Amino acid sequence: MRRLWGIFLALVLVMTLSVAGCSKGGPPSSEKKLKPEDLKIGYNPAPDPSKIPAKSKERTDTIILGMQAPQGKFNPAYVDSAYDDYVNSLIFEALGKVDKDGSVVPDVATWEIQDGGKTYVFRLNPEAKFADGTPITARDAEFYFYITLDPTYDGPVNMLSAKIVGAKEYHEDKEGKVKEIRGVQVLDEHTLRVEVEEPLAITINYLTVPLLPKHYYGKDFQKGDLSKVKELLSKPLGSGPYKLEKFVPDQEVRLVANENYWRKDKMPKMKTVIVKPTTQETNLQLLGAGDTDFEEGITVNRDNLEALLDYGFLDINLLLNNGFGYISVNHNNEILKDKRVRQALLYGLDRKAVVQGAFQGFAEVIDVPQTKVSWGYPDEAGLTHYDYNLDKAKQLLEEAGWKMGSDGYRYKDGKKLEFHYVASHPNPVNQVLVPLAKESYKTLGIDLVVDQLDFNAMIEKMNKGDYDLAFLAVGLGNDPDPYSLFHTNGARNKQMYHYSNPEVDKLIDEGRREFDKQKRKEIYNKLYKLLNEEVPILYVYQRYNLNTWNARLTGFDITPFYDFTNSLPQVHVKE
């Protein structure tokens, strides 16, 4: 599904650096100005569009997006950064997509659900074609399943979770004896049938896959060899409104309108879209100077909102984030498998101070890994609130057998209690969190060894398992199912946390099998209360999302489930 696979990175991982905001700045304020508390949830028009910089007015057919630098993984099957996923959303389309309210709706295909939820028949639009003019067929949709179920596939998509008939058999066959996925069948040029082993409430999320042209990515495709697919990561071909013209790592991604776009009534209104890498130190200043037109990565805090309002010419969209910030925990470290140690780490971190320091009141501490945007958010009655409490943290560490040594650190069986924390830099949350954590954990007898890295280097280190703790943030999907994050076989969990709990797995599986929404909510209420006790990761905050753009532009339509890329093709300069 368009925007679904990347959504967990949070998909993995927009929300990590979408908190990478900028310190206060901007021009001198005028005598009369709006204050941050005057802003409403949703769209807020610029208070003084007359201040639009002249240089931005000169760009009549170009929009410049400011964001964290994409990695260049421009393929939905391999994207592991939300910034790459933003680019992918403009290049690729899918069988289905997530709509403004979080529901799954048709994109390039419509579908019928048969056999009590075990059979899905997709009918592709016969008018659809790729950017090179080649018609889209059912073979292209089928091809995505063969990539993500290949025995050598090492991307973030866990297609086995869809429980497609024959998928496991095909995936586990490393000798090439199993040639086909029995449950994926092309019926004709524009019809694809997918059969699953059991009906799940979230099956449609898995099956509305992105469309990759087989004639381009799969020429001479052989099972067990995805090298040719990977060779084209920075040379994408899709069917979306834009196509890639240029990619210079850490400098620029340049997209141009797809002249062969098949939706003639939705042709892009801006000829060129440029992604310009920005950082905490540069994003606000570049936007204010007119060097960029749009930013999705400015931290929502009082200083930054005041600066944006002072500029005067910036529209502001403020929404409660469908995601949360947290500290990732590597459960391959035997020490961190002890629930008492994880709970002690949470009690020992002054999360209210972190939230206040980073967001100045525009975020709140959380104790469950779900957001209030979701219908699956649990009843808070009975939840443990891990308020800052060093005495409680010390008690838990003592119960876990960690005794204070003469050097001020705790030991157990001769081993020092220390953790390797990898911190993305620059990052305003880490700037507040790291010194607070080091001080508090030192008081508890824990040695926190911090390794500061740029974002991509941090993710690479985490993917290799070379860390104990790391701050991240995750954007959640349209469904409250947390399979990817906390199920033993979940893609994100297997990639970064390595957490396993049979009771958690059982509740997640029950929630996926139940179709009645109220019954699912009851199951998730039990699940999130268990995760509240288990603390598989250290919950920190839920914040607000901020998208802001030059008031010369109009056409953006954004909700917690529907990011800016969905409406970007229809954005244009105001007349």
Q: HEC states along 38-55?
A: HCCCEEECCCCHHHCCHH
- Domain span holding position 34: 5-91+235-321+545-573
Tokens of 18: 């979408």
Q: How confident is the model at residue 281 (pLDDT cuts 50, 70, 90)?
A: confident
Question: Which pair of tokens denotes residue 16?
Answer: 């990590």
- Evaluate the omega torsion of the peptide bond into residue 45 and state whether it is cis, within 30 degrees of 0: no
Q: Is the pLDDT of residue 172 over 70?
A: yes
- Report the pLDDT value the prediction gives residue 122, as an integer from 0 to 100: 98
Q: What is the pLDDT of residue 336?
A: 98
What b/e sequence results for 181-200 when a residue is b if at least 16 CB atoms lie within 10 Å of its CB, and e otherwise? bebbbeeeebbbbbbbeebb
Q: What is the pLDDT of residue 426?
A: 87
Asked if residue 146 and residue 242 are part of one domain, the reply reads no
| 183 CB-side CA count, 13 A | 23
Q: Tell me the pLDDT tens digit for each residue of 533-565.
A: 999 999 999 999 899 999 999 999 999 999 999
Identify whether residues 420 and 275 lie together within a single domain. Answer: no
E strands present in 200-295: 242-248, 252-257, 272-277, 294-295
Residue 17 has pLDDT above 90, yes or no: no
**Are 566 and 471 contained in the same domain?**
no
- Which segments of 361-407 does DSSP mark as H helices, in order? 390-399
Residue 208 belongs to what H/E stretch? none
- Do 108 and 37 fall into the same domain? no
Residues 12 and 115 placed together within one structural domain of the fold: no
**How far apart, in whole angstroms, are the C-alpha atoms of residue 267 and residue 241?**
7
Tokens of 159: 């297609």
- Between 515 and 567, the more confident residue is 567
Average pLDDT estimate for 337-362: 95
Considering only CA atoms, which of 374, 484, 543, 475 is closest in space to residue 13?
Answer: 475
* Contact between 570 and 553 (Cβ < 8 Å): no
The band of 289, judged by pLDDT with boundaries at 50, 70 and 90, is very high
Average pLDDT over the chain reads 92
Instruction: Look up the CATH number of the domain holding residue 244.
Output: 3.40.190.10
The number of CA neighbours under 13 Å toward the Cβ of 370 is 27
User: Do residues 413 and 540 share a domain?
Assistant: yes
Of 174, 199, 231, the residue at which a domain comes to its end is 231
Region 502-530: what's the mean pLDDT?
96
Amino acid found at 28: P
Are residues 260 and 147 part of one domain?
no
CATH number of the domain to which 330 belongs: 3.10.105.10
Residues 287 and 299 in one domain: yes
What local confidence, expressed as pLDDT, does residue 297 receive?
82
Is residue 401 domain-shared with residue 473, that is, in the same domain? yes
Kindly tell me if the per-residue pLDDT of 471 is higher than 50.
Answer: yes
Written as one letter, the residue type at 362 is: F
Q: Residue 233 pLDDT more than 50? A: yes
Per-residue model confidence (pLDDT) at position 32: 62
d(CA 485, CA 493): 5
- 127-141, 204-218, 295-309: which has the minimum mean pLDDT? 295-309
> In the chain, how many domains are there?
3
Q: In the chain, what is the straight-line distance between the N-terminal and C-terminal CA atoms, in Å?
A: 35
Token pair for residue 136?
Answer: 């889209």
Question: CA-to-CA distance for 5 and 37, rounded, in angstroms?
Answer: 35
H or E segment to which residue 146 belongs: helix 138-148
Over 90: is that where the pLDDT of 4 sits? no
Among the candidates 214, 231, 248, a domain finishes at 231
CA dist 386 and 212 (Å) reads 46
Residues 139 and 223 in one domain: yes
CATH number of the domain that residue 210 is part of: 3.90.76.10
Does the pLDDT of residue 23 top 90, yes or no?
A: no
**Residue where a domain stops, chosen among 231, 251, 272:** 231
Alpha-carbon distance of 493 to 191, in angstroms, equals: 34
Banded model confidence at residue 91, pLDDT cuts 50, 70, 90: very high
Q: What pLDDT, in 10s, does the model give residues 395-433?
A: 999 999 999 999 999 999 999 999 999 999 888 899 999
Residues 411 and 339 in one domain: yes
pLDDT at site 575: 83
Share of the chain above pLDDT 90, in %: 84
What is the per-residue pLDDT across 246-269, written as a single tens digit (0 to 9) for each? 999 999 999 999 999 999 999 999
pLDDT of residue 1: 60
Tokens for 177, please give them: 């004896």
Buried b (16+ CB within 10 A) or exposed e, 168-180: eebbeeeeeebee
Per-residue model confidence as pLDDT tens digits over 314-327: 999 999 889 999 99
Residues 213 and 135 in one domain: yes
